[in-house]
Structure 1
Amino acid sequence: MIAYELMILYRLMPKPELRTALKRTSETIFQKGGIIRKLENLGTRDLPFKISVHGVVYNKADYFLFEFNAPPSSIASLFDEYIRDVDVVRRRLYKKTEPVGFECTLDNEMKPPPYRNDVLNLIEQAKSQQGKPKFEYNTNLDHYPFQK
């Protein structure tokens, strides 16, 4: 199963109502064959702009982040259910990607330039290209063809 992140914004509600909305959201994920890995409450925040959903304008919302695994065939129906939910102000679903690993080269970067591996490679590349013919501007024309 593929890992997904669901960023969901709920309208401002009392805690018991918010709890039932969260249960409803998580039960839909379970019904579609998903497994919730993490639920994170990001708090109540102002929205960056006014959002009008189901005939009501919202300025603030409760932010929640769900990380879950689910089969790709169930994502469309899952997203469809959240569109119809009255408590949901906004929802965004992203496929979670693995972070790209990189090697720290700080000790190599702290060396003086003549001792760095990438500079040494550039010097070797320049030495190997010294014997090649260079471009010559003489085209055997006695005039410049692009003059007016």
Structure 2
Amino acid sequence: MPSYELALVLRQMPRPELISAIRRTAECILDSGGIIRKLENLGTRALPHKVSEHGVVHREGTHFNIAFDTSPTKIADLKEEFGRDIDIIRRHVFKIEEPEKFKCTLHQEMLPPAYRKDVQEMIEIAKRKQKPKYNYNSGLDYYPFQK
């Protein structure tokens, strides 16, 4: 199952109501067959601009990040479910991409530029793209195309 991250902004409310809203969100993920990996509270902050959601204008919100694994077919259902919850102001689901594996080439990077393999390849490409130059030693004493 791929990993996803849910960024939530909940309306400002007392702690018991906030806990019940997070519990509803977590149960929705678990009911869809997901596995919650991490729940992170980012605190209550002022929103960058006033947000109107479910007929109410909000200026502050409590931010949460939830990392979870679930089937890609369940994401649309989760978004729809979160959209109906009146306590959730904003919700975005992001797919967590695995970082690319790369080989360390520090010993090659420490070489002078003329000895590096990638620099030598660039020099070869530049040599192939050079145009042939006009040979001025053609037997004439003058350049025939000059006016």
The TM-score normalised by the length of structure 1 is 0.78
TM-score when normalising by structure 2: 0.78
Distance between the aligned counterparts of 1:82 and 1:133, measured in 2?
63
State the percentage of identical aligned residues.
50
Cα shift readout 1:68-102 (whole Å, capped 9, x = no counterpart): 11122222221111111111010001122111233
User: Following superposition of structure 1 onto structure 2, how do residues 1-148 of structure 1 map, counting pairs within 5 Å?
Assistant: 1-125=1-125, 129=128, 134=132
In the alignment, the residues of structure 2 paired with residue 50 and residue 63 of structure 1 have an alpha-carbon distance, to the nearest angstrom, of: 15
Q: Report the alpha carbon displacement of residue 126 of structure 1 after superposing the two structures with TM.
A: 5.2
Q: In the aligned structure 2, how far is the partner of 1:83 from the partner of 1:94?
A: 16
Q: Tell me the distance in 2 between the aligned counterparts of 1:19 and 1:28.
A: 14
Distance between the aligned counterparts of 2:133 and 2:40, measured in 1? 62
- The number of aligned residues is 135
CA RMSD of aligned residues (A): 2.5
Query: Using the alignment, how far apart are the partners of 1:125 and 1:74 within structure 2?
Result: 49
**What CA deviation, in whole Å up to 9, does each residue of 1:94-116 have, x standing for no partner?**
12211123344455334322122
Unpaired runs of 5+ in structure 1?
A: 137-141, 143-148
